[in-house]
């Protein structure tokens, strides 16, 4: 089965390209183009009044899509922002303890790692890291204000399976648990309903949600971080009549809002979600398609001198394969010279698979790799 027709604009823009970096920058489906145009048309027709539409039906629809995917009981706990870094800063700002005692895995993304390292330099936090295998044991020591872990680690594809056990440690008085779902959202089926009242979950549309930049989101459990110290005026969007000097907050996820933002990502996100619904393309359906392509690749790929960090098993799997070895960077560069997009992180070559790939694309990739061996 092929779904290339859903990506005709992106594929036609560079027809000779093989884009196997869907875990990095997912190609945009045609529906996202329609969403972008809808954002422009609303701005043109409504001008100043467009925010009533954006913070009304557009916002509400996007919340419903996120809540449906994650099985959240209340869509109102979902807030949107241009990037997940904004949310990390606001969550930490709401923790009263200083320095903030933070536990994270040793495989978190650069943005989080850089911010934490800088805050540690400045004496704002105390950071401890643990491997995915020892994260839960370390968290149970009870000496942390914030526990932060990716659901799917970006560098290896390792999946953290202890979400429920980690969530059992969370409490409004501390610690708070933040799950970075950027490589899990719409890549791994995720049911947060048992833990939605205890964990923060953040992700975005740039990768497997196929909506591009500017559509990141946070699920914020009620009773946690009710007054972030880093805040913008949109966080009081419902209560602008407060007397000067009073700092009010929305009673739901919108307490994490900042200020004026580009709403086009929300339009693209909604348009893509509606396209997926029309086509009957659930996360499970797309994951099954990707799994078949990954298995085909592993049968034929001439990468015997590289170690596969995330072998395919019987359970959930990342949408990319991570190969570790001395040749990772040189293979990446050689593929790029032939208009084949992959991704390299140090000595790890990541090859991502998506809905816009078919068996012919995988066969073409393995043939090119064979010539590099």
DSSP 157-205: --B---HHHHHTT--TTS-EEEEE-TTTTTTS----TTTTTTEEEEE-S
What pLDDT is stored for residue 168 in this prediction? 98
Element (H, E) at 53: helix 50-53
| Placement of tokens 């049968």 in the chain | 299
For the cut 80, the answer to whether the pLDDT of residue 185 exceeds it is yes
Closest residue by Cα to residue 163 from 143, 186, 139, 144: 139
Average pLDDT, the chain: 95
For the cut 70, the answer to whether the pLDDT of residue 218 exceeds it is yes
pLDDT tens for 118-159 read 999 999 999 999 999 999 999 999 999 999 999 999 999 999
For the cut 70, the answer to whether the pLDDT of residue 373 exceeds it is no
Q: How far apart are CA 89 and CA 119, in angstroms?
A: 11
Q: How far apart are CA 353 and CA 342, in angstroms?
A: 10
Is the bond into 99 cis (omega within 30 degrees of 0)? yes
Mean pLDDT for the stretch of residues 3-14: 98
**Coil, strand or helix at 228:** coil
Indicate the angle between helix axes 84-93 and 110-121, nearest 10 degrees.
Answer: 30
pLDDT tens for 234-251 read 998 666 556 666 788 999
Q: Who contacts 350 (Cβ-Cβ below 8 Å, separation ≥6)?
A: 21, 23, 24, 157, 320, 321, 322, 323, 342, 343, 344
For the cut 90, the answer to whether the pLDDT of residue 331 exceeds it is yes
| DSSP secondary structure code for residue 26 in this structure | P
| Lowest-confidence segment of 69-73, 197-201, 241-245, 347-351 by average pLDDT | 241-245
| Placement of tokens 């590289």 in the chain | 306
Closest residue by Cα to residue 187 from 164, 199, 200, 204: 204
Q: How far apart are CA 320 and CA 152, in angstroms?
A: 11
Domains and CATH numbers, the chain: 4-29+281-372 (3.90.1150.10), 32-276 (3.40.640.10)
For 240-318, list the strands marked E by DSSP: 307-308
Note the residue count of the chain: 373
Identify the band that residue 372 occupies on the pLDDT scale cut at 50, 70 and 90. confident
Q: How many CA atoms lie within 13 A of 60 on its CB side?
A: 5
Identify the band that residue 289 occupies on the pLDDT scale cut at 50, 70 and 90. very high
Q: How many CA atoms lie within 13 A of 56 on its CB side?
A: 6
What pLDDT is stored for residue 238 in this prediction? 63
What pLDDT is stored for residue 177 in this prediction? 98
Share of the chain above pLDDT 90, in %: 92
Instruction: Give me the torsion for CA of 190, 196, 202, 203, rounded to 10°.
Output: 30
Q: Who contacts 241 (Cβ-Cβ below 8 Å, separation ≥6)?
A: none
Strand order in the sheet with 348-352: 307-308, 320-324, 348-352, 343-345
φ, ψ of residue 25 to 5 degrees: the values are -125, 100
**Coil, strand or helix at 234:** helix
pLDDT tens for 38-57 read 999 999 999 999 999 999 99
For the entire predicted model, the pTM comes to 0.96
In the numeric block, which tokens belong to residue 356? 């816009």
For the cut 70, the answer to whether the pLDDT of residue 285 exceeds it is yes
For residues 192-203, b (16+ Cβ closer than 10 Å) or e, as one string?
beebbbbbbbbb
**Coil, strand or helix at 328:** helix
pLDDT tens for 344-369 read 999 999 999 999 999 999 999 999 99
Identify the band that residue 304 occupies on the pLDDT scale cut at 50, 70 and 90. confident
């Amino acid at each position: 089965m092929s779904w290339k027709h859903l990506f005709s604009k992106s594929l036609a823009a560079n027809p000779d390209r093989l884009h196997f970096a869907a875990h990095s920058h997912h190609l945009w489906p045609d529906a996202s183009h329609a969403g972008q145009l809808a954002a422009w048309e609303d701005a043109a027709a409504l001008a100043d009044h467009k925010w009533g539409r954006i913070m009304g039906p557009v916002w509400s629809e996007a919340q419903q899509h996120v809540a449906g995917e994650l099985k959240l009981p209340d869509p109102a706990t979902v807030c949107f922002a241009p990037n997940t870094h904004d949310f990390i800063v606001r969550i930490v700002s709401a923790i009263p303890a200083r320095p903030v005692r933070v536990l994270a895995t040793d495989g978190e993304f650069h943005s989080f790692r850089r911010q934490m390292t800088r805050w540690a330099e400045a004496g704002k936090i105390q950071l401890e890291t643990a491997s995915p295998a020892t994260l839960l044991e370390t968290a149970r020591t009870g000496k942390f204000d914030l526990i932060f872990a990716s659901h799917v680690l970006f560098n290896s594809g390792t999946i953290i399976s202890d979400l429920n056990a980690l969530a059992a440690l969370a409490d409004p008085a501390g610690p708070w648990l933040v799950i970075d779902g950027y490589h899990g959202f719409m890549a791994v089926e995720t049911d947060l309903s048992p833990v939605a009242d205890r964990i923060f979950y953040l992700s975005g549309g740039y990768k497997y949600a196929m909506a591009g930049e500017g559509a990141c989101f946070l699920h914020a459990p009620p009773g946690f971080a009710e007054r972030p110290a880093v805040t913008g005026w949109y966080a009081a969007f419902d209560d602008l009549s407060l007397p000067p000097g009073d700092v009010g907050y929305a009673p739901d996820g919108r307490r994490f809002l900042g200020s004026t933002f580009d709403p086009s990502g929300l339009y693209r996100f909604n348009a893509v979600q509606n396209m997926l619904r029309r086509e009957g393309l659930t996360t499970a359906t797309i994951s099954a398609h990707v799994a078949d392509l990954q298995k085909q690749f592993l049968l034929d790929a001439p990468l015997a001198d590289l170690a596969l960090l995330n072998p395919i098993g019987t359970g959930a799997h990342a949408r990319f394969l991570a190969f570790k070895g001395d040749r990772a960077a040189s293979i990446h560069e050689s593929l790029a010279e032939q208009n084949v997009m992959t991704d390299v992180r140090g000595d790890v070559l990541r090859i991502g698979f998506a809905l816009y790939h078919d068996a012919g694309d995988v066969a073409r990739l393995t043939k090119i790799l064979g010539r590099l061996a």
